[in-house]
Structure 1
Amino acid sequence: MNASFRGGGRSVEFLDQINKASLVALTDAGIVSEDIASRIAAGILALIRAERGKPRQWSADYLDYEPKLLAAVGADASRLHCGRSRQDISATIARMNLRAGLLDECEALARAREALLSLASEHTRTIAPAYTHGVQAQPTTLAHYLLAFDDALTRSACRLRAAYRHVNQGPLGAAALTTSSFALDRRRLASLLGFDGLVENAYDANHLAPVDTSLEVAAVLGIAAVQIGQFAQDLHAQYAAPEPWMTLQRGELVGVSSIMPQKRNPAALEQLRVQSSMLLGEMQAVSLMAHNVRSGMFDYRAYDPVPSGRALAVFELLRKILGGLVVDKARALAEVHADYSTATEIADALLQRADVPFRIGHHFASALTDYGRSRHLSLREIPYGEAARLYEATASEAFPLDAQAFAEVTSPEYMVFGRKGTGGPQIPEAERMLARQRGELAADLAWTQSCRAHLSSAEAQLEAAVAAIVDRRSATSTTSASNSETTS
Structure 2
Amino acid sequence: MLKVMALAGAMLAGLGTASAVAQQAAPPPRHDEFYWLGEINKASAVINTQEGLLDPALAPRIAAGLDAVLKAGDAPNGRRPTLVITFEPLLIEAAGVEATLLHAGRSSQDMLSTMRAAIMRDEALRLAESLRKVTATLARLARVHQDTVVPNYTNGVAAQPNSLGHAFLGHVAGLERDADRLQQFYARLDRSPMGTAVLNGTSWPLDRERMAHYLGFPALVDNAYDAAQISAAEMPVEAGAVATSIALHCGAFVQDVMGQYGEARPWILLQEGGGNTYVSSAMPQKRNPGLLNDTRAEASRVVSLGVGRVIEEHNIPPGMADAKSVADNAAVLGGATRMLDLWDRALNALVISPDRAREALNSDWTASEEVADALMRKYRLPFRVGHHFASEMVDYARARDIRPSDFPYADARRIYGDTLRDMKLPAGELPLTEAEFRAALDPAAIVRDRATSGGPQPAEMARMLGEADARVAAEGAWIAARRGRIDASLASLDADFGRMLPPPH
Judge same fold: TM > 0.5, yes or no: yes
In structure 2, the partner of 1:435 is 466
Letter in 2 for 1:276: A
Counterpart residue identity of residue 203, structure 1: Y
Q: CA deviation at 1:9?
A: 5.9
- Cα pair distance change 1:203/1:55, threshold 3 Å: farther
Matched, 1:193 2:215: yes
- The alignment-based identity, stated in percent, is 35
Give the superposition deviation at 1:234. 0.2
Pair 1:270-2:311 in alignment: no
Three-state SS of the structure 2 residue aligned to 1:129 is: strand
Q: Tell me the CA shift for residue 99 of structure 1.
A: 0.5
Q: Which runs of 4+ in 1 moved over 4 A?
A: none
- Report deviation, 1:337: 1.1
TM-score by structure 1 length?
Answer: 0.93
Matches within 5 A, 1:367-378: 367-378=392-403
Q: CA shift at 1:371, angstroms? A: 1.2
- 8-17 or 100-109, which deviates more: 8-17
Superposition pairs of residues 477-488 of structure 1, within 5 angstroms: none
2:264 paired with 1:242 = yes
Q: How far is 1:348 from its partner?
A: 1.2
C-alpha distance in 2, partners of 1:365/1:265? 39
Give the distance between the partners of 1:165 and 1:464, measured in 2 at CA: 27
Match of 1:449 in 2: 480
Match of 1:233 in 2: 255
CA distance in 2, matches of 1:214, 1:378: 54
User: For 1:88-127, what per-residue CA distance to the aligned partner results, in whole angstroms no more than 9, with x for missing partners?
Assistant: 1110011001100010001111112222122111111100
Whether 1:258 aligns to 2:289 is no
Aligned to 1:26: 48
Q: Which residue of 2 aligns with 1:159?
A: 181
Change (3 A) 1:148 1:353: same
Asked whether 1:323 is paired with 2:348, we answer: yes
Matched, 1:312 2:343: no
Q: How far is 1:248 from its partner?
A: 0.5
Tell me, in whole angstroms, the C-alpha distance in 1 between the residues paired with 2:78 and 2:325: 19
Instruction: Supply the AA of the counterpart residue of 2:340.
Output: F
5 Å-filtered alignment, 1:326-345, equals 326-345=351-370
Cα deviation, residue 357, structure 1: 1.9
Which whole-Å CA distance do the structure 1 matches of 2:173 and 2:289 have between them?
Answer: 25
Equivalent residues of 2:72, 2:79 under 8 A apart: no
**Equivalent residue letter for 1:270:** N
Name the CA distance, whole Å, in 2 between partners of 1:317 and 1:400.
52
Q: Kindly indicate whether the alpha-carbon contact (under 8 Å) linking 2:84 and 2:112 is maintained by their aligned counterparts in 1.
A: no
1:148 and 2:164 correspond: no
1:366 counterpart residue number = 391
Aligned to 2:428: 397
Which residues of structure 2 form unaligned runs of 5+?
Answer: 1-29, 421-426
CA distance in 2, matches of 1:355, 1:183: 78
User: Is the CA contact 2:201–2:224 (under 8 Å) kept in the aligned structure 1?
Assistant: yes
Q: Are the counterparts in 2 of residues 289 and 300 from structure 1 also a CA contact under 8 Å?
A: yes
Is 2:456 the counterpart of 1:425? yes
> In structure 1, what is the Cα distance between the partners aligned to 2:433 and 2:448?
21
Structure 1 residues 386-395 or 302-311, which shifts more?
302-311
Distance 2:162 2:75 in 1: 55
**DSSP 3-state at the match of 1:247:** strand
Contact 2:236 2:324 in 1 (8 A): no
In the alignment, the residues of structure 2 paired with residue 53 and residue 337 of structure 1 have an alpha-carbon distance, to the nearest angstrom, of: 66
Deviation at 1:305, TM superposition (A): 5.0
Gaps of 5+ in 1: 1-7, 479-488
The offset of 1:414, in angstroms, is 1.5
SS in 2 for 1:131: strand
Aligned with 1:356 (options 349, 362, 381): 381
Rounded Cα–Cα distance in structure 2 between residues aligned with 1:118 and 1:232: 18
**Is residue 223 of structure 1 aligned with residue 245 of structure 2?**
yes
Which of residues 300, 319, 323 in structure 2 aligns to 1:296? Answer: 319
Q: Does 1:115 align with 2:137?
A: yes
Q: Deviations over 1:246-293 (max 9, x none)?
A: 011111100110011110111111111111011110111111111111
| TM-score normalised to structure 2 length | 0.90
- Give the counterpart letter for 1:115 in structure 2: T
Give RMSD over aligned pairs.
1.5
Residue 57 of structure 1, aligned match among 75, 79, 102? 79
Cα distance, 1:413 vs structure 2 = 1.4
SS at match of 2:170: helix
Partner Cα distance (1:184, 1:312) in 2 = 37
Q: In the TM superposition, what is the alpha-carbon distance from 1:140 to its structure 2 partner?
A: 0.1
Match of 1:414 among 427, 445, 452: 445
Query: Which digits, 9 at most, give the CA deviation of each residue in 1:179-213, with x for residues without a partner?
Result: 11111111111111111111111111001001222
Letter in 1 for 2:83: D
The answer (yes or no) to whether the contact 1:130–1:137 under 8 Å persists in 2 is: yes
* 1:138-190 CA distance string (max 9 Å, x none): 00011011110011111111111111101110001111111111111111111
Residue 33 of structure 1 and its aligned partner are, at CA, apart by 1.2
In structure 2, C-alpha distance between the alignment counterparts of 1:303 and 1:368, rounded to whole Å: 62
**Residue equivalent to 1:486:** none
